[in-house]
Amino acid sequence: MGKEEITPTESKVLSAIKSWQEKHGEAPLLREINQELNYSHPNALARYIASLEEKGYLSRQPGKRRGIKLLEDLIPVPVRGTVMAGPLTEEEQREGEFMYLPVSNVPNRLSYILKVKNNSMEPTFHPGDYVLVNPSKTFKHNDIVVAIADSENTLKRFYKSPDGQAVLMPDNRNYPPIVFGSDQEVNVQGVVVGKIGHVIKKQ
């Protein structure tokens, strides 16, 4: 992804700022951001704002009451369901759910988000993590891909063995690899380009 990766909590903070600006046409105060986030300790939000400023996602103008300014456009990226849990059903399409992400972090406007459902890719990804997927058919050795295997949606590393066999390899050694024969084609739906945070539902 483009700049230094934001944490799930920082993703929520950016989304709250963007949402307030769209509704009110001005930058929010800290207490107005917290109306959506509901942090019990006021210093917590200030720490996240400072971190986002340090990473280059926003700035604060000294002495200005509404001095928070986003330094990069945010775009909504759709959440399309879960991965490692079988094919996406109509119910799992999660219509109306999305995340606001910085434009530089999103490969293209066809990118989408999936929620990790099991632990076959631990320690890289854990159940409940959200991954950003570039729906590209171009992938290389050691890329983490979303693929169809045995009619199921799965998240694995793509490997090419020395004898040319394609293998979908879990990071968790308690799970077996999925090996394809020389006459079988790997049906890759996209390449994972990052891990991100909180889902924002459409109002």
| Residue 115 appears among annotated catalytic residues | no
**Sorting pLDDT into bands at 50, 70 and 90, what band is 197?**
low
E strand intervals along 34-143 = 58-60, 68-70, 74-83, 97-102, 112-116, 130-134
The pLDDT value recorded for residue 172 is 94
Sign of CA dihedral 121, 124, 129, 135: negative
Q: What average pLDDT score do residues 96-118 get?
A: 85
CATH 3.30.750.80 fits 75-201, yes or no: no
**Sorting pLDDT into bands at 50, 70 and 90, what band is 203?**
very low
The pLDDT value recorded for residue 69 is 93
Among candidate residues 12, 18, 117, 156, the one labeled active-site is 156
Do domains 8-70 and 75-201 share one topology? The answer is: no
Q: DSSP letters along 26-48, please?
A: SPPPHHHHHHHH--SSHHHHHHH
| Residue 11 appears among annotated catalytic residues | no
The pLDDT value recorded for residue 192 is 94
Q: What average pLDDT score do residues 71-100 get?
A: 66
Quick: pLDDT tens for 2-43: 467 777 788 889 989 998 998 999 999 999 999 889 888 878
Among candidate residues 12, 117, 120, 161, the one labeled active-site is 120
The pLDDT value recorded for residue 202 is 39
Quick: pLDDT tens for 149-194: 777 788 999 998 888 889 999 999 999 999 988 778 888 999 999 8
φ/ψ (deg, to 5) at 54: -65, -35
Quick: pLDDT tens for 111-122: 999 989 889 999
- For residues 105 and 107, give the distance between their C-alpha atoms in angstroms, rounded to a whole number: 7
Q: So where are the chain's domains?
A: 8-70, 75-201
The pLDDT value recorded for residue 52 is 93
Statement: the pTM of the whole predicted model exceeds 0.85: no
| Token pair for 35 | 């109306």
Average pLDDT, the chain: 83
| Token pair for 127 | 């159940």
End-to-end CA distance of the chain: 28
Level-2 CATH architecture, domain 8-70: Orthogonal Bundle (1.10)
**Sorting pLDDT into bands at 50, 70 and 90, what band is 201?**
very low
Cβ atoms of 60 and 73 within 8 Å: the answer is no
